[in-house]
Amino acid sequence: MNAIVKRPVKDPMIALFDEFFGNMVPRLENQMGRLVVPAVNIIEDDKGVEIDLAAPGLKKDDFEIKIEDNILTVSVHKDEEKLEEGANYIKKEFGYESFQRSFTLPDNIFDTEKVEAKYKDGVLKIYIPKLEEQQKKIKKVSVK
């Protein structure tokens, strides 16, 4: 008798990507076939840099953000418990989701004492201001 093995259903786009590129590009996926490391956008302006991290389904208390030796690390560790009841059985599954992303900050550019973080609509926004002397000063020149 063959054992029944539950296999995750693979997203069609991921399957197509894997068919073309095989294992040439390493991918981090959890047991359900979802990407473990969230996508990031980094936006810089004259006064600082904003890191936007897509992490839907979490709460602001799920995040741990720390800066040590000019390395900004964002991590999440979330345990999830699901209870599924049926007519003749009770099945309990434990879910686990975690990730960590690290970003190296250049020396003497950013004011790491004034970092701000906000989580809204599934996006974690981290703003790191530049040191006062690193901010570009814009000088307006009048036309005569």
Residue 129 CB neighbours (<10 A): 17
Domain 38-133 belongs in CATH node 3.40.50.880? no
Rounded average pLDDT over 57-76: 91
Rounded average pLDDT over 89-118: 81
| pLDDT attached to residue 78 | 74
The HSE-up count of residue 84 (CA atoms within 13 Å, CB side) is 6
State the span(s) of the chain assigned CATH 2.60.40.790. Answer: 38-133
- Burial label for 39, CB within 10 Å (0-12, 13-18, 19+), is exposed
| pLDDT attached to residue 85 | 63
**pLDDT tier, 43 (very low <50, low <70, confident <90, very high otherwise):** very high
Residue 23 has pLDDT above 50, yes or no: no
**pLDDT tier, 1 (very low <50, low <70, confident <90, very high otherwise):** very low
What's the predicted TM-score (pTM) here?
Answer: 0.63
Residue 16 has pLDDT above 60, yes or no: no
